[in-house]
A and B are shown apart, each in its own frame.
Chain A
Amino acid sequence: MSATIEFCNVVKRFPGPERAGESGFLAVDRLSFEVEQGEMVAVLGKTGCGKSTMFNLLAGLIEPTEGTVRVLGHDPFLEFDWFRGRIAIVFQNDRLMPWRTALANVELGLELLGKSDQERRATALGWLERLGLKGHENDYPHALSGGMRQRVSIARAFAVDPEILLCDEPFSALDELTGQRLREEYLQLVKENGKTSIFVTHSINEALQLGERIMVFHLPARIALEVRIAAGDREDIRRRVLEAMTAGGAAVEEQAA
């Protein structure tokens, strides 16, 4: 059986000034990896190491310069529409539409999937309740706290019942307590619903908590370390991840408390 996500020698070069005889900026260099169905992978790396570029390639928002990206056996860029309802993204900031209420924001994906008013309302209400937002359905984003807004964005992603969930540092802007609570809720939801999840983060602790496998990226996005969490001692993994990140020549914020 083929993997759910496959990156095969993917290169992404952005247009720009010529550098060292090559045109443009090389963001991803021959990146190859696979993710199995239902697997939870955490991608770690310092700022600017190409995590977001990999993320955008995976989401089909940009096209690889070379190599192939296959998600569920399809090309996410060329077959963009095929992925309707199959991929959902939780972004770093909540990205809620300010003119929509919490309920209407959660309904967005369902609306675009053509679900009936009744179905999308019932689904959205269910997810809001599940994420502890009952009573806030008709609140506009500006009336909600940062944690509540991020909960709405998680509900929006889960509401479409995607096969793959992509998360781009969704809890990094929250305070530690709220972030920790949301991480636990997120983990529970992903496990309960059997989703394949790629979680981009720059926090080692977060990666250890939310990934079954950790991939450490170096610039230009290539894998410096790949480690399965279940197979090893957490402290040892933490040390190896930290070493892999610092080996890239960058100062890493000490997050392995």
Chain B
Amino acid sequence: MNRWYQLRIETVLALGGLALAWQLASYFFPPYLFPPIPEIVQKFLAIFIDQESLANAGATAARIFGGLIGSFLLGLTFAFLMGRSERVYRYFYPILNFIQGIPALSWVVIAIIWFKGTEPRILFIMVCTTLAAFSFQMLDAYRSMSKDLFEMTLSFRPTRKELFRTLILPTIVPGILTAWKVNLGNAARVVVVAELVGATGGIGYQLLKQQQVFDMAGAIAWTLVLVAFVLVVQQAITLVENWLLAYRPRAERSA
């Protein structure tokens, strides 16, 4: 059987099994603990029909993208500075390592104290929680550049801009795409925490509302919206990856 087809069947069976178990649990527990699957599906679909709900989902998506773009640009800059200068690396590394160790919730508290508006707070939290990972991943990608290819390109005497375009950028593209996929999941987790405590809109805020009225079906539906968003974006990144990295050889037999 085709491996891809087999994987799909296994995915459907695994997720279907989970839904079935949940549905069975809903017969034995009250709806505020295990609401029936049809109710969750109904609430999930309702989010896509209601304008206000869609705006909430859109706000969260915009915050995720905004935070990731800001973090990516800063991380890329830091990675280049660290990659080009060992001295800069020695100064930046401990700071980024320190930042990486700070929990997301601490950033939430700091953001609430430092910033007045909701959006700056969330942007700050998003950037701070994903910056170190982006920087280190970009630096790894930059350092993975082949010395042989670097010397070869240099032998044609390119300008810095040409060197970046012809060698550095294509070299770091796989690393950039991987970093985006990894950080997207992290950002989705963090944005909910940030919205939960400091926003008046977005998926996190909606989750808080569901918790206040003990609406488990609503909470699950909003969670599913976030999961769906992450999966769709990850799939889009995978498509871009397949297109950009089409030159890579594929082994007929996998390990």
Q: Which residues of A contact B (CB under 8 A)?
A: 59, 61, 80-81, 83-85, 87-89, 91, 93, 95, 97-101, 108-109, 111-113, 140, 142-143, 160
Contacts and interface: CB of A to CB of B under 8 A. Distances in A.
Listed from nearest, the 7 A-B pairs whose CB atoms lie closest are A95-B152, A142-B249, A84-B157, A140-B247, A89-B155, A112-B156, A99-B170
A112 B155 contact: no
Looking at B149, B152, B167, the one whose CB has the most chain A CB atoms below 10 A away is B152
B10 interface: no
A61 B155 contact: yes
A95 B162 contact: no
Nearest to A160: B156
B88 interface: no
B170 A88 contact: no
A81 B149 CA distance: 18
A250 to B, nearest CB: 26
Interface of B: 148-149, 151-158, 162, 166-167, 170, 245, 247-249
A98 B247 contact: yes
A14 B211 CA distance: 67
Contacts of B248: 98, 142
Nearest to B169: A99
Nearest to A109: B156
20 contacts: A61-B155, A83-B157, A84-B156, A84-B157, A85-B157, A87-B155, A88-B156, A91-B148, A91-B151, A91-B152, A97-B166, A97-B170, A99-B170, A101-B247, A108-B153, A108-B166, A109-B156, A111-B166, A112-B157, A143-B249
B254 to A, nearest CB: 17
A83 B154 CA distance: 11
Nearest to B173: A99
Contact of B149 (A59, A61, A95, A113): A95
A61 B170 contact: no
A61 to B, nearest CB: 6
A80 B157 contact: yes
Contacts of B245: 99
A84 B162 CA distance: 13
B145 to A, nearest CB: 11
A236 to B, nearest CB: 36
B152 A112 contact: no
A142 B170 CA distance: 16
Contacts of B167: 97
Contacts of A84: 156-157
Contacts of B155: 59, 61, 87-89
B159 to A, nearest CB: 8
A111 B245 CA distance: 22
Given A81-B157, A112-B162, A89 B247 contact: no
A84 B163 CA distance: 14
Given A91-B148, A98-B247, A112 B158 contact: yes
Contacts of A93: 148
Contacts of A143: 249
A69 to B, nearest CB: 15
A143 B247 CA distance: 10
Contacts of B153: 108
A2 B59 CA distance: 71
A99 B153 CA distance: 14
B30 to A, nearest CB: 57
A61 B151 contact: yes
B190 to A, nearest CB: 33
Contacts of A112: 156-158, 162, 166
Contacts of A88: 155-156
A54 to B, nearest CB: 15
Nearest to B249: A142
Contacts of B166: 97, 108, 111-112
A83 B155 CA distance: 9
B72 to A, nearest CB: 21
Given A93-B148, A97-B170, A112-B162, A61 B154 contact: yes
A41 B149 CA distance: 26
Given A61-B155, A81-B157, A93-B148, 10 more contacts: A59-B155, A83-B157, A85-B156, A95-B148, A99-B170, A100-B247, A108-B156, A112-B157, A112-B162, A143-B249
B55 to A, nearest CB: 41
A23 B238 CA distance: 52
A78 to B, nearest CB: 13
